[in-house]
């Protein structure tokens, strides 16, 4: 389960930003997580709940909001874009395997809400 390591990294980053801005408490963090990022949101949420209460005074009780970014793949052969999860690496329009992921692998901090 790599979710815990990612949670620790995000908490460290948010805590640093909050410290630099003299914030006493972080109320919530909104993340954008790609649906093909290999992160399981339910595991991530469980790790988050434990970590914010045990790793950072400034973030105790901090709420996590997750926005899922759909995976989109582009075909180099026919230039079509399609759902990665639904169709995988093979283009449903022309059958080519010369494709690449456009989005859906991200893990980004979108917003930090403070008191």
Name which of 19, 42, 41, 37 is nearest 114 in CA terms: 19
Q: Where are the alpha helices (DSSP H) in the chain?
A: 3-20, 41-55, 84-87
Q: How many domains is the chain built from?
A: 1
Residue 19 inside a domain? The answer is: yes
| CATH number of the domain to which 57 belongs | 3.30.2320.50
Residue 40 inside a domain? The answer is: yes
Task: Quote the domain boundaries for residue 11.
Answer: 3-70+105-114
Could you read off the pLDDT of 13-63 as tens digits, one per residue? 999 999 999 999 999 999 999 999 999 999 999 999 999 999 889 999 999
Contact 8, 44 (CB under 8 A): no
Contact 90, 96 (CB under 8 A): yes
Residue 16 inside a domain? The answer is: yes
Residue 37 inside a domain? The answer is: yes
Residue 89 inside a domain? The answer is: no
Percent of the chain with pLDDT over 70: 99
């Amino acid at each position: 389960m790599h979710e815990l390591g990612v949670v620790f990294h995000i908490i460290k980053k948010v805590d640093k930003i909050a410290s630099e801005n003299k914030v006493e408490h972080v109320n919530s963090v909104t993340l954008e997580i790609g649906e093909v990022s290999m992160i399981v949101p339910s595991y991530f949420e469980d790790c988050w709940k434990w970590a914010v209460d045990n790793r950072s005074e400034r973030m105790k009780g901090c709420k996590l909001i997750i926005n899922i970014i759909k995976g989109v793949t582009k075909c180099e052969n026919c230039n079509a874009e399609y759902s990665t999860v639904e169709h995988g690496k093979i283009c449903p329009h022309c059958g080519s395997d010369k494709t690449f992921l456009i989005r859906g692998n991200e893990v980004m901090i979108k917003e930090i809400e403070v008191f």
